[in-house]
Amino acid sequence: MNLNFSEWYRSVKLEPNDTILKNRWSGIENYTENLTDYTNVLELVRLFYNLPVSENFRDEFCNVFIETDSAFSKNNSFELSVLAGASLVNIIEEGGGLKIFRFLQ
């Protein structure tokens, strides 16, 4: 888990507990490890900036978190922004940045 993850949550006025952070990070890892369509990276950027995204992408992204926490809400745009940003950071930290760069060329 990224050491700044809890602070990212607090930056949007969310106060997570340890269980929530672990569940959300597990969802981020599951999503980014199984990412095969790098056009979804562009959707993550849009979601991070709270721009419109496709309904299919939004459902797919949210379902990853619902699998680890049935109380997860699809309607909290602030939390979705944090999770999208954390996913992008995780992709880059895990070496996916080079793959993304090649894909976008």
pLDDT in tens, the chain (105 residues): 777 777 877 777 677 788 888 999 999 999 988 787 778 989 999 999 999 999 999 999 999 999 988 888 899 999 999 999 999 999 888 766 555 555 555
pTM reported for the whole predicted model: 0.84
pLDDT for 98 equals 54
pLDDT for 102 equals 54
- The structure tokens 């419109």 sit at 52
Scored b (16 or more CB within 10 A) or e, 32-68 reads beebeeeebbebbebbbeeeebeeebbeebbebbeeb
pLDDT for 105 equals 53
